[in-house]
Amino acid sequence: MINKKNITIMASGNGSNFISIYNAIKNGIINGRINLLISNKKRSGAVKFAEEKNIYTKFLSKKIIDSRKDYANFLEINLKQFETDLIILAGYLKMIPKEIIIMYKNRILNIHPSLLPKFGGKGFYGMKVHEKVISSNEKVSGATVHFVDEIYDNGPIIAQQKVNISPNETPLTLSKKVLDVEHKLFPHVIKKICEDEINFNKIKPKIEEIRK
């Protein structure tokens, strides 16, 4: 049996992906433990959930984030102290400092609500992604899990899952469809990483497409 991996969640939004990962651990699907939540939004669903479940939470102030050196130090100290194996960005919008990306190469994952490389990069977050997908008359969208590198939404893709766009789709209905898929896709990938089925050290991981 592989040792349980220590998973640090970085989240500042509603926290629904965080909750889906927490539940997958609780149900024995993911062989890991959430050792820490790092957030830059005290009043977020993610922080509220961590409080309810007694999960350690560390806050990143704007002041820390704005000083690049303090930001990298803060992360390094906490990730070392909590012996983090894997960093999961579950609704975290700030850039991760280069030092941490190097230190945790292929051990930082992000989920994005489109089929990357389409509709990704700076400025593509939240509803903006779905609005652009609809106005571009796309027939499909979906979610992507990828390793994080120094460019927004750019790192190697690990897995994607598609959703069909109906003729009367709105950004809101599409966001709900995609989020639903995210709640299955992210735990699925994290499970595989925790079982060492996706190798951290491979330069380009296998792209897996999950079909319903």
Where on the chain is the footprint of ligand GRF (CB under 6 A)? 11, 13-18, 90-91, 111-113, 179, 182
Give me the least distance between CB of 93 and ligand GRF, in Å please: 8
Closer residue to ligand GRF (CB): 82 or 152 = 152
Give me the least distance between CB of 112 and ligand GRF, in Å please: 5
Contact 186, 9 (CB under 8 A): no
Closer residue to ligand GRF (CB): 77 or 151 = 151
DSSP string, the chain: -PPPEEEEEE--S--HHHHHHHHHHHTTSS-EEEEEEEES-TTSHHHHHHHHTT--EEE--HHHHHSHHHHHHHHHHHHHHTT-SEEEESS--SPPPHHHHHHTTT-EEEEESS-TTTT-STT--THHHHHHHHHTT-SEEEEEEEE--SSTT-SPEEEEEEEEPPTT--HHHHHHHHHHHHHHHHHHHHHHHHTT-S-TT-SSPPPEEE--
Annotation says 112 is catalytic: yes
Give me the least distance between CB of 113 and ligand GRF, in Å please: 4
Give me the least distance between CB of 90 and ligand GRF, in Å please: 5
Closer residue to ligand GRF (CB): 21 or 193 = 21
**DSSP helix/strand/coil, 12:** coil
Contact 8, 87 (CB under 8 A): yes
Closer residue to ligand GRF (CB): 83 or 209 = 209
Give me the least distance between CB of 16 and ligand GRF, in Å please: 3
Closer residue to ligand GRF (CB): 3 or 123 = 123
Residues in the chain, overall count: 212
What are the catalytic residues?
112
